[in-house]
Amino acid sequence: MQYSENRRLIGPVAVGAVAIAVVLNALGVYGDGSEGDHSSWEFLTVTALIAIAAVAVFGFVVPRGLAKEAAAATALALSVLGLLLVPAFWSGLPPILAAGGALLGWAGWNATRGRAMCRVAVVVGCLALVADVVVYVADYISTN
């Protein structure tokens, strides 16, 4: 893919990652059926964290990575961070980081330099997204 084609993917991927993170946040906060005073505050706080992370990742890190010829290290770092933060699923960060890493990895899928790392970044990013959803579903099932 070319640089301009990859830049056009930033918006849809960012919207998708934010949507996944916010829906999982809502499931985590309101899914247990106990709507107390802290629930709305907790939801809004984590949603703000998701928004800040999305601006940082999709507004700064990913565009700069796409501008470089070799962004494999950035792609892999984002994907691995997304996977490592799955235990902190409640933060909303794993989908944002994993999607950013997967997008950068996808952009470098056929690159001359760093191709293998980019492909690993895509796989790890997808694994992090799936793991985050599984953890949320397991948490929902265990509380109901």
140 confidence band (pLDDT: 50, 70, 90): confident
Number of domains making up the chain: 1
Q: Which tens digit of pLDDT belongs to each residue from 93-131?
A: 999 999 999 999 999 888 888 889 999 999 999 999 999
Token look-up 């109901």 returns 144
At 15, which helix (H) or strand (E)?
A: helix 3-30
**Cβ 9 vs Cβ 103: under 8 Å:** yes
More confident residue, 35 or 84: 84
The pTM of the full predicted model, rounded to 2 decimals, is: 0.91
Check pLDDT > 50 for residue 1: no
Tokens (6 digits) for 92: 């909303």
What the block records as the tokens of 140 is: 């929902």
How far apart, in Å, are the Cα atoms of 38 and each of 13, 30, 56, 68, 139? 31, 11, 27, 44, 19
Range of the domain at 133: 3-143
pLDDT at 10: 94
Find the range with the poorest average confidence among 1-5, 37-41, 46-50, 51-55.
Answer: 1-5
* Per-residue pLDDT tens over the stretch 32-47: 666 666 688 899 999 9
